[in-house]
Amino acid sequence: MGGTADSVDRSTVHASHQASPLGPYLLFLGDTVEPGYAKTAFGLRDWAPERCIGELVLPGGTVSTGLERLSSEEAHAKGARALLIGVASPGGVIPPQWLPAMLDALRSGLDIVSGMHSRLSDIPELAFAAEAHGRRLVDVRVPPANIPIGTGAKRSGKRLLTVGTDCALGKKYTALSVTRGLQARGLDATFRATGQTGIMIAGAGIPIDAVVSDFLAGAAETLSPAADENHIDVIEGQGSLFHPGYAAVSLGLLHGSQPDMFIVCHEPGRTHVLGYPDVRLPTIEEVILQTVALGKLTNPAIRCVGVSVNTASYTDEQAQRLIAAESDRLGLPVADPLRGGPAFDQLLDRCQG
C-alpha cells in the first residue's frame, strides 16, 4: 500500500463497541437506485435527525432521504464533520465509482464513516488521502478484540430481543421504538445495537454478523452485561432463525442475549424469504415456537410478549383492522410501533416485565 503502517493506522478508527465522537453527518447515497439498499441513511434520518446535515447523491442515483443535497464542501461549511456511507453495495464492497466523491470529502475536511464489510483503510487511495489531510476513516463493522466464548451463565437485569420472520422488516425500528417508549414511562431501558445502522444511531454496539461464529454468544453476553434487576436491555435482532443464510447469526444472538422477553417482527403480505423465492416465509406462530424452543437453552423462562407488524404500505384504517384481527387471532398485543396508539401502549405494558 505504500507509506508506513503507522501512518495508515493513525487515520483508521474501529468504532463498533464504543461511542463515536464523529458527526454531524453528510449522508452518502452514491448512485443507488433501490431504496432498500439505503436503510442506513434512512435509519439515521429517522432516529438521529439532529446529526444529519444533508445528503450527497452521485449522478444516476435516484434514492433520496429528503434532506438537502449538498457537496462535501457545502456540507462542511454547514457543520458536517463526516461523510457517512448510508447505502450498501453488493458484497459489501466500495465500488470504484464512489472513490472520487469520497476523496473529495476527505479534501473538504470530512472524516468517512462506513458500515460496509470491506474496510476503508484497505483502499490505498483513501488511506493515503486520510493521512495527507489529517482525516479519519471509521469502520463500524469491526467487532471488538478478545470477545469471550459464551458461558450461558444467568445475568441480572431484564432483556428483550426483537426477532423476525425474515430480514429487513423492522427489528431495529421496533427495538428503538420500544426503548424510547419505555424510557418515556420513566423506566431504565437501553437500546443495544447489533448492526451497523443501529451502532451509528446509538454510538455503540457490536456488529454481530462480523463476529466469528464460535464467539457469537459471547459477543451478545458482552453487549448486555449484568445490570440492576429493574434495568431493561432492548436488543436489536438480526436475521431470522428460518433464514437459509443468516440463521446461525440469529441463533448465536438468541443464546447470548438470554432474553426474558421477545417480540416477533413481521411484514404482512410477504410470503417468501427476501431474496429466496423458493423459501416459504414462516408463520408468526412458527417463529414463536422455534424461538422459545431454542431460547430455553440459556433462559428457560423466555416468553413472547407481542408482535410488531410493519404496515408502511397500509392506510391507517387498513392497519388498524389488521392489528386488531392479528391480536385477536394470536392472543397477544400486536402493534406497528411507528404508528403508536393504544395498540403500542398495550405492547409496552407487556415489555415492562
Least confident of 16-30, 96-110, 112-126: 16-30
- pLDDT at residue 12 is higher than 70: no
- With vertex at residue 263, the alpha carbon angle to CA 261 and CA 268, rounded to the nearest 5 degrees, is 165
- What are the pLDDT digits (tens) for 58-117? 999 999 999 999 999 999 999 999 999 999 876 678 999 999 999 999 999 999 999 988
- For 100, residues 6+ apart whose C-beta sits below 8 A from its C-beta are none
| 3-state secondary structure at position 322 | helix
Q: Give yes or no for a contact between 61 and 89, defined as CB atoms under 8 angstroms apart.
A: no
- pLDDT at residue 17 is higher than 70: no
Q: What is the largest CA-CA distance in the chain?
A: 65
> Taking residues 240-250, what's their average pLDDT?
96
- What are the pLDDT digits (tens) for 140-169? 999 999 999 999 999 999 999 999 999 989
Q: Give yes or no for a contact between 335 and 346, defined as CB atoms under 8 angstroms apart.
A: yes
User: What are φ and ψ of residue 125, in 5° steps?
Assistant: -60, -40
Model confidence, pTM: 0.90
- The CB-side HSE value for 119 (13 A sphere, CA atoms) comes to 18
User: What are φ and ψ of residue 18, in 5° steps?
Assistant: -140, 160
- What are the pLDDT digits (tens) for 248-303? 999 999 999 999 999 999 999 999 999 899 999 999 999 999 999 999 999 999 99
Residue 103's beta-bridge partner residues? none
Only one residue has cell 440463521, namely 247
- pLDDT at residue 235 is higher than 70: yes
- pLDDT at residue 314 is higher than 70: yes
d(CA 297, CA 59) in angstroms, rounded, equals 51
> Taking residues 35-57, what's their average pLDDT?
94
Q: How confident is the model at residue 353 (pLDDT cuts 50, 70, 90)?
A: confident
Helix (H) or strand (E) holding 84: strand 82-85
Q: Give yes or no for a contact between 253 and 295, defined as CB atoms under 8 angstroms apart.
A: no
- What pLDDT shows up at residue 7? 33
Question: Which domains occur in the chain, in start order?
Answer: 5-139 (3.40.50.720), 158-351 (3.40.50.300)
Average pLDDT, the chain: 92
- What pLDDT shows up at residue 54? 98
* Grid cell listed for 154: 444467568
Rg (CA), the chain: 21
